[in-house]
Amino acid sequence: MRIDHVAIAVNNLDQALKNYEKLIKVNNIHIENVTNERVKVAILNLEDTRIELMEPTAEDSPINKFLLQKGEGLHHIAITADNIEEDVSKASENGVKMLGDIRKGSYDRKITFIHPKSMNGVLIEMCEAVNH
């Protein structure tokens, strides 16, 4: 397991990209609409880790709610699972609370989320490794 990416809620993707490119050397940027979550994401590919900037595309997007409540900032971290079904079911058995089932996220890979109450206030995504 390793940190796959950190995801940041932003009001405006273009403006945020300008800020991030002042500081961080980015190999390439992948833009994607994740319709499930009603967000547009800019995935900044660094050396084998990623920063995802997320802008809501609908009022009822969970990211829009986050922005209204807390403003721009860190939203979640994602950890690559070795085997997402096994890892998640083992954690569940140990009392870790999940947020929904395993589903498709960016790059069309399987993801799920862990409840922040189980993780000292941190929203954690478990995801498959990216093969691209």
Q: Binding residues for a second copy, per CB under 8 A?
A: 1-3, 5-6, 8, 10-11, 16, 19-20, 22-25, 46-51, 53, 71-74, 77, 79, 82, 87, 91, 94-96, 114, 116, 118-122, 124, 126
Residues 6+ apart with CB under 8 A from 103: 36, 110, 111, 112
Shortest separation between residue 25's beta carbon and a second copy, angstroms? 5
Q: Between residues 76 and 105, which has the closer beta carbon with respect to a second copy?
A: 76
Strand order from edge to edge, sheet including 50-56: 28-34, 39-45, 50-56, 3-9, 73-80, 124-127, 110-114, 98-104
Report in angstroms how near the CB of residue 2 gets to a second copy at its nearest.
4
Q: Which is nearer to a second copy, 7 or 34 (CB)?
A: 7
Closer residue to a second copy (CB): 35 or 67 = 67
Minimum distance from residue 122 beta carbon to a second copy (Å): 5
- CB nearer a second copy, residue 36 or residue 89: 89
Structure-block tokens of residue 82: 């070795």
> What is the smallest separation between the CB atom of 108 and a second copy, expressed in angstroms?
22
CA torsion 95-100-101-102 (nearest 10°) is: -100
What share of residues in the chain are helix, strand, coil (percent, to 5)?
A: 30, 40, 30
- Give 8's strand partners: 53, 74
